[in-house]
C-alpha cells in the first residue's frame, strides 16, 4: 500500500494482552515462526479489503422483492416470500429460499442458502439470518463471511450489534481461497472460541486462538488481537526473524513498528545476539507531498572485537538514508547515502552485502529531449578485498547536461552537451599502472554536435555528422606516465577536438513464406584530430573500453570523456535480421574498424590498436518465444585468437525455466582488468504443480578452478501462503564475508505477516 508516495510496512500481527507472561509470548511467536518456515512470500498478491458496511439505508427506501411466491398477512402485517427470493433494500441484496418480513418490528428472517451482499462487495452466507434495525444489526447461524480481499471467516453463530461490532462464535479465520488440502481444510487457519470484529477500531479480538495447518493445531494462546485486513499500518510487534553469523553468533530480530501519523513511521528492529549483545537497528520513514525519505541507523558495542575488521573500536555502526522528491514535472532531487564506521560492519552483521557504497545527492531535469543532472558523489569501500580507501575520490560537483534544438539547423539536428566535475582524493595513487590519478582534478567539457539523416532514391540511409569538443582540465599531483615518481603540480590544460564523418546504411529486404529478411551493409568514416595532452590529463571515467559489436559504430568508443578517440578511421560491418512469421527472429552483426591516419588513442590490449581492429560479432536467435540463444565474440582478424566471447541461453517451457551462460574475456591491463575471466553459470527452476517448485544455480570460475556460488532450494507458493527453503554457498576466497555457506528459510501468511530464519553453516 502507498500513502503519500511512501510504501508502508504491513501492520503488526498479534498484540498480546499484558496479562500474559513474556515467556509465553516469545514461545508462542517463536513456534509460529519456526513452523512458518514451510512456505515463500514473494509471490503473494495483496488484495484490497473494504470494511464491512454497518450503515442502514436512507429513510424511505423501498424494498424490492423478487420471488416465486409472495403472501401477505394483513392482520399481522407479515410478508412471506418463497422460492428463488431476491430482496433488494437500498445498497443491500439478500438472497434466500424464504424471507419473512415483519412490518411491525421491521425485521427480516431468512433461511435456506442465505446470502447477504453488502454494497462494498463483502458477502455473508448463512443457513438462517435475522436482520433488523434497517440491516444495521442481525443474527445468523452457520455463517461464512467472504471479504473482498479473499479472507474467509466462518462461525457457528454471528451477531452484529450497534457500533459496528460483529461477534463470531466458534470462528475460523483464513486467507486461503484455493489452497485447500486433501482433507478439505484450508492450508492454514486461526480457530477461536470467540472472535469479535470491531469495524470502527478495525481490530479482531481472538479468544483462545489456535493456529492450525491442515487442521492440525500448532500454536495456542489464551488471547490475542490483530488488525483486520483493512489495516496496512498499526503500531505493534511484527513477526520475529532468526539469523546467525560468525561475528555475532545467533541473533533474534524483534521488530516493533510505530505509526507516527498518516505519513510517517518508525521501525525499531533490535537484534539480540549470543556473542555481541544487542544490536540497534532503527529506521524512520516520512512521506511528504513532493516525495519521501528514510533514514536507517545501526549500532553495536561489541563484547568481543572482530578479528577481520579494519577497526579496533568496540563501537561499530552505520547510517543509510535515501530520499526522492519532485520539484515539478521536469525537476527531481534526492539523495542516497551510506556511512559506515569501518569496511566490514554492514556485511559482517548481515545488513548489506555491497562491496562498495556509492553515496550521492542529486538534482535531475528531463524535458522533451533535454536533460540535466548534477551530483555530489562519495565512495566508501565495504570489503577488505577492495583497494585502499584513499584511492576513491569525492566528486563535487559532477554535472552532465544535454540540449537538442527543437528546430532544424542546416536541415539537420543540432545539439549541445556539456560535463563538469571536480574531484579530490587523499593521495595520488595508481591502482592501474597505465592510468593517471592525481589528488585533485577539475574538468569542463563542452560539445556541439550536428547530424542529418538522408534517404536516397536507392534506399540508402546516409547520416553525415560533425562535432566540436572543447576541454579544460586543472590537475594537481598528477603522476607522470613515463616517470610515476614525478608529480605535476597545479597544471592547467585546454584543448579543442573537432571531428566529422558520415554513416551509410543500405538495407535490402526480401519476403518469404517463412518470414522476412533484411540485410544491411554499413560503412562509416570519421576524421578527427589526434588526442592531445594525454600525459597532462588524469583518466577518471574512461578506464574501461569494452569494444564489441554494440560499440563498433560509436563516434567515440571510450566509455568516458577523460579519453578521446583521435585520428581518421573507417568502420565496416554487416547487419542481418530475419523476422519469422511465427513471431521468432534472428539477428546477426559482424564488423571491423580500420585506423587510416593520425595517432591511434587505444592501447594494445583493447582490440582497437593498430591499423586493423579485432573482428566483433554478435548473434541473437529466438526461434520460439520460450527459447532465446545469444552469442557475441571479439577475435583477431585472422581468427588466430578469440579475445572475448559470451554465450547465453534462456528458456521457459511448460514447467522448466532457466538460463545457461559462458563468458571468456582476455586480460586487459590498460583498462583495469589484470586477469583473464572465464566463467560458466546456470540457473533453473522446475515447477511440479501450481504450488511446489525447486530451483538452483551454479557459477564456476574456470580460470581459477573453483565454484563462485552455489544455490539450491525448494519453494511453495499459493494464494495465502508462500515459503522458501534455500541453500547458498559463496566464494570462499573472500575472507571479509561472514559465511561461505548459508541456509535460509522464509515464510509469509497473507494478512498475517512474514518471518525468516538464516543460519551459517
Q: What confidence score (pLDDT) does residue 18 get?
A: 31
pLDDT at 698 over 50: yes
Average pLDDT of the segment spanning 10-14: 37
- Work out the number of other CB atoms within 10 angstroms of the CB of residue 126: 24
Q: Given this model, what pLDDT does residue 555 score?
A: 93
| % of residues, the chain, pLDDT over 90 | 48
> What is d(CA 505, CA 589) in angstroms, rounded to the nearest whole number?
13
pLDDT number for residue 40: 30
DSSP 38: G
Residues 114-118: what's their mean pLDDT? Answer: 85
Give the pLDDT score at 38: 30
pLDDT of 49: 55
Q: 466 vs 7, which has greater pLDDT?
A: 466
- pLDDT of 55 reads 57
Nearest to 187, CA basis, from 716, 724, 725, 745: 716
Tell me which of 445 and 119 has the higher pLDDT: 445
> What tens digit of pLDDT does each residue of 612-647 get?
999 999 999 999 989 999 999 999 988 889 999 999
- Pick the range with the lowest mean pLDDT from 205-219, 237-251, 631-645: 237-251
H or E segment and range at residue 664: strand 656-665
* Cα separation, 361 vs 397, whole angstroms: 10
β-pairing verdict for 461-476 and 491-505: antiparallel
Helix (H) or strand (E) holding 182: none
Q: Is the peptide bond between 458 and the residue preceding it cis, with omega within 30 degrees of 0?
A: no
Question: Does residue 543 contact residue 563 with C-beta atoms inside 8 Å?
Answer: no
- pLDDT given at position 22: 30
| DSSP letter for each residue of 445-502 | EEEEEEE--EE-TTS-EEEEEEEEEEEEEEEESEEPSS-TT-EE-SEEEEEEEEEEEE
Please give the pLDDT value at position 317: 92
Asked whether 277 and 301 are in contact (CB, 8 A), the reply is yes
Note whether 86 and 95 are within 8 A (CB): yes
The CA distance from 596 to 612, in Å, is 9
The most confident of 77-91, 168-182, 264-278, by mean pLDDT:
264-278
- Tens digits of residue pLDDT in 306-338: 654 555 568 899 999 999 999 999 999 999 999
**Alpha-carbon 10 to chain mean position:** 18
Give the pLDDT mean for 533-547: 88
Determine the longest span between alpha carbons in the chain, in angstroms: 116
Give the closest residue to 718 by CA, choosing from 231, 122, 38, 171. 38
Helix boundaries (H) for 51-174: none
pLDDT at 149 over 50: yes
Whether 355 has a pLDDT exceeding 90, the answer reads: no
| Lowest mean per-residue pLDDT among 382-386, 495-499, 603-607 | 382-386
pLDDT at 34 over 50: no
CA distance 372 to 375: 10
Count of residues making up the chain: 761
C-alpha cell at 640: 588466430
Q: Which three cell numbers stand for residue 501?
A: 564523418
What is the structure's pLDDT at 53? 57
In this predicted structure, which of 44-48, 579-583, 637-641 has the lowest mean pLDDT? 44-48
- C-alpha cell belonging to residue 159: 451477531
- 26's enclosing H/E stretch is helix 22-35
Phi then psi dihedrals of residue 536, to 5 deg: -100, 5
- pLDDT of amino acid 48: 58
**Among 108, 113, 68, 111, residue whose Cα is nearest residue 88:** 108
User: Does residue 389 register a pLDDT over 90?
Assistant: no
Assign 727 to helix, strand or coil.
strand
Mean pLDDT confidence for 127-148 = 83
User: Residue 726: which pLDDT band, with cuts at 50, 70 and 90?
Assistant: very high
| Three-class SS state of 431 | coil
Q: How high is the pLDDT of residue 148?
A: 74
Residues 354 and 337: beta-carbon distance below 8 Å:
no
Q: What is the pLDDT of residue 17?
A: 33
3 state SS of 391: helix
* Residue reference for cell 435456506: 112
Mark 467-497 as b/e (b = at least 16 C-beta within 10 Å): bebebebebbbbbeeeeeeebbeebebebeb
445, 490 Cβ separation under 8 angstroms: no
Most confidently modeled of 47-51, 201-205, 479-483, 659-663?
A: 659-663
Instruction: List the one residue out of 327, 329, 331, 337 whose CA is nearest residue 361.
Output: 337
The whole-number pLDDT of residue 4 equals: 34
Identify which of 523, 519, 505 has the alpha carbon closest to the alpha carbon of residue 594. 523
Q: Minimal CA–CA distance to 282: which of 293, 296, 271, 301?
A: 296
Distance CA 133, CA 570 (A): 88
pLDDT on residue 738: 44
Most confident of 513-517, 568-572, 603-607: 568-572
| Mean of pLDDT values over 111-126 | 83
Share above pLDDT 70 across residues of the chain, in percent, rounded to a whole number: 87
Residue pair 267/43 in contact by the 8 Å Cβ criterion: no
Indicate the range of 72-81, 104-113, 135-144, 473-482 predicted with least confidence. 473-482
Q: Give the pLDDT confidence score for residue 354 in this predicted structure.
A: 87
What's the pLDDT score for residue 166? Answer: 86
Residue range 414-438: mean pLDDT, rounded: 79
467 in Cβ contact with 450 (< 8 Å): yes
Q: Is pLDDT above 50 for 684?
A: yes
Residue 116: pLDDT band (50, 70, 90) is: confident
* Burial classification of residue 232, based on how many CB atoms lie within 10 Å of its CB (0-12 exposed, 13-18 middle, 19 or more buried): middle
Q: Which three cell numbers stand for residue 255?
A: 521488530
Q: Which pLDDT score, from 0 to 100, does residue 444 have?
A: 97
**Which of these, 181, 189, 239, 242, lies nearest to 218 by C-alpha position?**
189
Cell 577497526 sits on residue? 311
Mean of the pLDDT values across residues 720-737? 75
Q: What is the DSSP letter of 219?
A: E
Please determine, for residue 600, whether its predicted confidence score (pLDDT) is greater than 80.
Answer: yes
Q: Report phi then psi at 274, rounded to 5.
A: -85, -20
Give the CA distances from residue 542 to residues 556, 558, 571, 672, in Å, rounded to whole numbers and listed in that order.
11, 6, 21, 10
Contact by Cβ (8 Å): 239, 29:
yes
| Residues 6+ away with beta carbon under 8 Å from 74 | none
What class, spelled out in words, does domain 62-146 have in CATH?
Answer: mainly beta
Nearest to 686 by CA among 726, 715, 663: 715
What's the half-sphere exposure (Cβ side, CA atoms, 13 Å) at 124?
A: 31
Amino acid at each position: 500500500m502507498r500513502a503519500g508516495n511512501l510504501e508502508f510496512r504491513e501492520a503488526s500481527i498479534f498484540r498480546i494482552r499484558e496479562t500474559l507472561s513474556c515467556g509465553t509470548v516469545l514461545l508462542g511467536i517463536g513456534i509460529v515462526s519456526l513452523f512458518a518456515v514451510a512456505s515463500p512470500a514473494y509471490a503473494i498478491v495483496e488484495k484490497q479489503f473494504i470494511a464491512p458496511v454497518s450503515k442502514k439505508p436512507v429513510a424511505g427506501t423501498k424494498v424490492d422483492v423478487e420471488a416465486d411466491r409472495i403472501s401477505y398477512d394483513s392482520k399481522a402485517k407479515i410478508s412471506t416470500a418463497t422460492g428463488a427470493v431476491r430482496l433488494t433494500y437500498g445498497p443491500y441484496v439478500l438472497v434466500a429460499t424464504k424471507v419473512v418480513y415483519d412490518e411491525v418490528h421491521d425485521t427480516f428472517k431468512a433461511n435456506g442458502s442465505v446470502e447477504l451482499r453488502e454494497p462494498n462487495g463483502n458477502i455473508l452466507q448463512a443457513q438462517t439470518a435475522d436482520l433488523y434495525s434497517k440491516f444495521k444489526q442481525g443474527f445468523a447461524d452457520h455463517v461464512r463471511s467472504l471479504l473482498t480481499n479473499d479472507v474467509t471467516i466462518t462461525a457457528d453463530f454471528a451477531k452484529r450489534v450497534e457500533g459496528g461490532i460483529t461477534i463470531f462464535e466458534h470462528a475460523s479465520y483464513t486467507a486461503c481461497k484455493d489452497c485447500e488440502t486433501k482433507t478439505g481444510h484450508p492450508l492454514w487457519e486461526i480457530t477461536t472460541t470467540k472472535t469479535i470484529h470491531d469495524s470502527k477500531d478495525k481490530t479482531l479480538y481472538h479468544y483462545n486462538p489456535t493456529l492450525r495447518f491442515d487442521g492440525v493445531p500448532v500454536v495456542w494462546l489464551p488471547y490475542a488481537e490483530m488488525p483486520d485486513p483493512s489495516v496496512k499500518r498499526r503500531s505493534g510487534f511484527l513477526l520475529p526473524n532468526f539469523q546467525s553469523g560468525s561475528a555475532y553468533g545467533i541473533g533474534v530480530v524483534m521488530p516493533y513498528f510505530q505509526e507516527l501519523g498518516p505519513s510517517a513511521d518508525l521501525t525499531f528492529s533490535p537484534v539480540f545476539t549470543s556473542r555481541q549483545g544487542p544490536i540497534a537497528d532503527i529506521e524512520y520513514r516520512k512521506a511528504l507531498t513532493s516525495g519521501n525519505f528514510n533514514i536507517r541507523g545501526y549500532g553495536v558495542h561489541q563484547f568481543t572485537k572482530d578479528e577481520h575488521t579494519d577497526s579496533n573500536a568496540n563501537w561499530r555502526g552505520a547510517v543509510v538514508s535515501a530520499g526522492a522528491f519532485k520539484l515539478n514535472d521536469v525537476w527531481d532531487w534526492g539523495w542516497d547515502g551510506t556511512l559506515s564506521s569501518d569496511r566490514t560492519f554492514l556485511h559482517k552483521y548481515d545488513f548489506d552485502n555491497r562491496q562498495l557504497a556509492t553515496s550521492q545527492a542529486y538534482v535531475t531535469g528531463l524535458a522533451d529531449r533535454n536533460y540535466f543532472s548534477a551530483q555530489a558523489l562519495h565512495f566508501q569501500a565495504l570489503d577488505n578485498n577492495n583497494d585502499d580507501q584513499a584511492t576513491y575520490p569525492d566528486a563535487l560537483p559532477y554535472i552532465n547536461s544535454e540540449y537538442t534544438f527543437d528546430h532544424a539547423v542546416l536541415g539537420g539536428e543540432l545539439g549541445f552537451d556539456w560535463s563538469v566535475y571536480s574531484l579530490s582524493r587523499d593521495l595520488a595513487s595508481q591502482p592501474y599502472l597505465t592510468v593517471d590519478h592525481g589528488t585533485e582534478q577539475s574538468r569542463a567539457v563542452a560539445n556541439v554536435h550536428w547530424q542529418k539523416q538522408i534517404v536516397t532514391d536507392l534506399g540508402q540511409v546516409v547520416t553525415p555528422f560533425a562535432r566540436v569538443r572543447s576541454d579544460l582540465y586543472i590537475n594537481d599531483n598528477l603522476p607522470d606516465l613515463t616517470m610515476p615518481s614525478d608529480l605535476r603540480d597545479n597544471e592547467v590544460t585546454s584543448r579543442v577536438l573537432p571531428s566529422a564523418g558520415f554513416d551509410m546504411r543500405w538495407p535490402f529486404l526480401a519476403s518469404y513464406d517463412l518470414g522476412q529478411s533484411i540485410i544491411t551493409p554499413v560503412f562509416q568514416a570519421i576524421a578527427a584530430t589526434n588526442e592531445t595532452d594525454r600525459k597532462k590529463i588524469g583518466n577518471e571515467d574512461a578506464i574501461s573500453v569494452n569494444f564489441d559489436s554494440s560499440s563498433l559504430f560509436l563516434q567515440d568508443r571510450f566509455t568516458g570523456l577523460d579519453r578521446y578517440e583521435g585520428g581518421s578511421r573507417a568502420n565496416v560491418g554487416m547487419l542481418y535480421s530475419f523476422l519469422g512469421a511465427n513471431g521468432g527472429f534472428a539477428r546477426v552483426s559482424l564488423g571491423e574498424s580500420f585506423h587510416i591516419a593520425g595517432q591511434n588513442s587505444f592501447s594494445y590490449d583493447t582490440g582497437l590498436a593498430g591499423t586493423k581492429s579485432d573482428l566483433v560479432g554478435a548473434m541473437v536467435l529466438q526461434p520460439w518465444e520460450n527459447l532465446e540463444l545469444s552469442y557475441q565474440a571479439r577475435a583477431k582478424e585472422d581468427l588466430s585468437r578469440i579475445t572475448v566471447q559470451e554465450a547465453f541461453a534462456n528458456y521457459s517451457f511448460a514447467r522448466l525455466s532457466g538460463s545457461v551462460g559462458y563468458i571468456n574475456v582476455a586480460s586487459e591491463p590498460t583498462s583495469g582488468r589484470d586477469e583473464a575471466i572465464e566463467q560458466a553459470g546456470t540457473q533453473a527452476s522446475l515447477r511440479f504443480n501450481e504450488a511446489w517448485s525447486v530451483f538452483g544455480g551454479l557459477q564456476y570460475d574456470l580460470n581459477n578452478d573453483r565454484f563462485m556460488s552455489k544455490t539450491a532450494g525448494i519453494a511453495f507458493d499459493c494464494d495465502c501462503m508462500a515459503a522458501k527453503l534455500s541453500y547458498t554457498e559463496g566464494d570462499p576466497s573472500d575472507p571479509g564475508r561472514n559465511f561461505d555457506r548459508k541456509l535460509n528459510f522464509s515464510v509469509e501468511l497473507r494478512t498475517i505477516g512474514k518471518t525468516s530464519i538464516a543460519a551459517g553453516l
